[in-house]
Amino acid sequence: GENVEQHPSTLSVQEGDSAVIKCTYSDSASNYFPWYKQELGKRPQLIIDIRSNVGEKKDQRIAVTLNKTAKHFSLHITETQPEDSAVYFCAASREKFYFGSGTKLNVKP
Amino acid sequence: DGGITQSPKYLFRKEGQNVTLSCEQNLNHDAMYWYRQDPGQGLRLIYYSQIVNDFQKGDIAEGYSVSREKKESFPLTVTSAQKNPTAFYLCASSTGGSSYEQYFGPGTRLTVT
């Protein structure tokens, strides 16, 4: 089956800096790669996603890049704000979803 | 936040008892999923259903059972055979299966003592 690895497990940045979270996957047939943000005790919410026929996607301060050859994808958050502090999960999907173990992002004011 | 609901938010049970977690959606989604989340870990798939009256095991189905008699509902039963049932359980639904966004419910925190 699919194996998704996510790094780092924790990330601390100063407000205004950029944050990058990286994921690798093992199944070359995976074709959909969403990123979710989860605040403490809350449900995960989709923040951005990318499909395998696209290399990069951007939505305001958030961007995702996908390298199908290397089987890795990354989340980039620019101009971070304290409200970006949360746990972020990547996932890879073909028939079903496989999630990374999460990155706890702390943005210091 | 509407569209997919789970109840109750917190659930306490004694060891050896079966317990059923509710998941309802009014999004007209065909696919529904159950995940388990343990502290500091990602989401692990328990069961999923792509269509009414059909469901498949996920990666950690042992000790769990589901039914999908209606499109809107996908209840999860945690049986006494589940060795470590205390966890946060998340239900999700999706319009188009595995290539489309999943919408998550608010979750049920189950504690078994």
> Which of A10, A88, A96, A101 best probes binding to B when mutated, by most B CB atoms within 10 angstroms?
A96
Cα dihedral B29, B103, B105, B56, rounded to 10, equals: 60
Percent residues over pLDDT 70 in chain A? 100
- Interchain proximity B99–A96, CB inside 8 Å: no
What's the gap in Å between the CA of A87 and the closest CA on chain B? 9
Residue A58 has a CB neighbour count (10 Å cut-off) of 12
pLDDT tens track for B53-107 = 999 999 999 999 999 999 999 999 999 888 899 999 999 999 866 567 889 999 9
Residues B8/B65, Cβ–Cβ less than 8 Å: no
CA-nearest of B36, B31, B3 to B105 is B3
The percent of residues in chain B predicted with pLDDT above 90, rounded, is 82
Angle at A93 between CA B7 and CA B41, to 5 degrees: 55
Q: Which residue of B has its CA nearest to A10?
A: B40
Chain B hits for A102, CB-CB cut-off 8 Å, are: 40-42
pLDDT at A32: 93
Q: B98, A89: Cβ pair inside 8 Å?
A: no
The single-letter code of the amino acid at B107 is G
- Residue B42's pLDDT band, with cuts at 50, 70 and 90, is confident
Average pLDDT across chain B, whole number = 92
Closest CA to B39 of A36, A40, A16, A78: A40
pLDDT tens-digit series, residues A57-73: 999 999 999 999 999 99
Q: Is A57 on the interface with B (CB under 8 A)?
A: no
Q: Is B40 on the interface with A (CB under 8 A)?
A: yes
SS3 content of chain B, % helix, strand, coil (to 5): 5, 50, 45
Q: How confident is the model over B8-27, as a mean pLDDT? A: 94
Distance from CA of A41 to the nearest CA of B (A): 8
**pLDDT for position B39:** 84
pLDDT tens digits, one per residue of A81-108: 999 999 999 999 987 899 999 999 999 9
Closest CA to A102 of A39, A16, A28: A39
- Best of B1, B36, B102 to substitute, by most chain A Cβ atoms within 10 angstroms, is B102
B102 in A contact zone (CB under 8 Å)? yes
Tell me the average pLDDT across A15-37. 96
